[in-house]
A = this chain, B = another copy of it.
Amino acid sequence: MGYALTFEGLRDLAEGAAVLGTGGGGDPYIGRLLVEQQLKAGRTVTIIDAAELPDDALVIPSAMMGAPTVFIEKLPSGAGNIAALRALEAHLGRTAAATMPIECGGLNSMMPLLLGAQLGLPVVDADGMGRAFPELQMETFAVYGVSGSPMAIASDHGDTGIINATDNRRMEWLARAMTIQMGGASYISDYPMDAATVRRTAVPGTLTLARRLGAALRQARAEHADPFQALAAALSGTLYTHGLVLFRGKVTDVDRKTVDGFARGHVTLADLADPRDQLEITFQNEHLVARRNGRVVAIVPDLICTLNSETGTPVTTEALSYGQRLTVFAISTPDLMRTPDALDCFGPTAFGLADPYTPVEHLTAVP
């Protein structure tokens, strides 16, 4: 049943998840190290399809919450993820049959693998964002009627909490404050649901997709091939139909602040040959909108990825710095993330952006 993750598969998955993280989700490097430690200790990460679980099996997603800028200053020890799961199990009076990611981007693609290895729990190959988003209500689970509450939250210090909010936005609002008090980072278990509901509401196969994207980048490097063509090829035939280069340039400005528990700001890139040709990306943990000379060329929930122009290595928002040569690569989101209800939940207006949502493949791309 399912497959066991190898060391190479883990490294590929981490890199692919950083691509899908669209600049956010936290750098998966730290999480990858924690999972590697488990594999070295002889433990196993088993990735399964939701179809392998009985309809009524309880699945409890697992994640970290907080600003990625905090995780790089205060490395997560991984101690709180078991505490969060156990607190939610105790509250529900039921035991989880599996865990899964709430987002397939960055660090949070690793945390369920860590928990799975620690406890011998299988990890469902799916997630609730199909990428990374900054807030807990921004889940396909939520769009399709699942309550995030009751959720559990834990610190690295042994504190735990349960939140039963009247809606998923209030859950985010209350959990964000707890996270800030816990030092800007917390471990959470939320959106507990049965496997039938996972199948109905999750974006399927995203852990395997991330692994394939990472493998494509690895192989392109080995073969001195174009990493962006490799990514586009790996995406074709998946739910993410389009992958295209939006811009290549040099970072000329980064404006980033950690406010209200988020990393918020802008990054500006200029074309190397024509510095008047500029692309500006606005982010809240994740990249939200890319504007080329003022015109929108990609907007949330489509994925805007900042990658090293030479190697295709993803660069997260907290690692952006002046002078980096980056290629901005866009990926179209799956159809279940483009419905009116989905756009209400995590489209442009959900982030206070006035621009309408237009699918990235309908906006002009640079070849």
| Chain A interface (Cβ < 8 Å from any Cβ of B) | 87, 91, 157-166, 170, 173-174, 176-178, 180-182
- Cα separation A164 to B80 with both chains bound (whole Å): 13
Separation of A91 and B88 alpha carbons in the complex (Å): 11
Residues A87 and B164 in contact, CB atoms below 8 Å apart: yes
Contact of A159 among B157, B158, B166, B180 (CB under 8 A): B166
Known: A91-B162, A157-B170, A161-B161. 19 other contacts (CB 8 A): A91-B91, A157-B166, A158-B166, A159-B164, A159-B165, A159-B166, A159-B170, A160-B163, A160-B164, A161-B163, A161-B164, A162-B162, A173-B181, A174-B178, A174-B181, A176-B181, A177-B177, A177-B178, A177-B181
Q: How far is the CA of A176 from the CA of B181 in the complex (A)?
A: 9
Tell me the smallest distance from the CB of A106 to a CB of chain B, in Å.
25
Assembled-state Cα–Cα distance A173/B182 (Å): 9
Kindly state the separation between the CA atoms of A91 and B162 in the bound complex, as whole angstroms. Answer: 10
Can you list 13 A-B pairs with a CB-CB distance of less than 8 A? A87-B164, A157-B166, A159-B163, A159-B166, A159-B170, A159-B174, A161-B163, A161-B174, A162-B162, A174-B178, A177-B177, A177-B181, A178-B178
The interface residues of chain B lying within 8 Å CB-to-CB of A178 are 174, 177-178
Give the distance in Å from the alpha carbon of A177 to the alpha carbon of B153 in the complex: 14
Chain B residues with CB under 8 Å of A162's CB are 91, 161-162
* Smallest CB separation, A171 vs chain B (Å): 8
Chain B residues with Cβ under 8 A from A159's Cβ? 163-166, 170, 174
- Which residue of chain B has the shortest Cβ distance to A174 in the bound complex? B181
Q: Which residues of B contact A91 (CB under 8 A)?
A: 91, 162
User: What separation, in Å, do the CA atoms of A166 and B158 have in the docked complex?
Assistant: 6
> Within the assembled complex, what's the spacing in Å between the Cα atoms of A163 and B162?
7
User: Within the assembled complex, what's the spacing in Å between the Cα atoms of A107 and B174?
Assistant: 25
How many angstroms between the C-alpha atoms of A60 and B172 in the bound complex? Answer: 28
With CB as the reference atom, state the residue of chain B lying closest to A152.
Answer: B162
Q: Distance in Å from the Cβ of A244 to the closest Cβ of chain B?
A: 40
In the complex, chain B residues whose CB is within 8 Å of the CB of A163:
159-161
| Bound Cα distance A180, B178 (Å) | 11
Identify the closest chain B residue to A161 (Cβ): B163
Q: How far is the CB of A87 from chain B (nearest CB, A)?
A: 7
Q: How far is the CB of A77 from chain B (nearest CB, A)?
A: 15
Provide the bound-state CA to CA distance between A88 and B91, in Å. 11
Once the chains are docked, how many angstroms separate the CA of A117 from the CA of B177? 33
Measured CB to CB, the closest approach of chain B to A3, in angstroms, equals 37
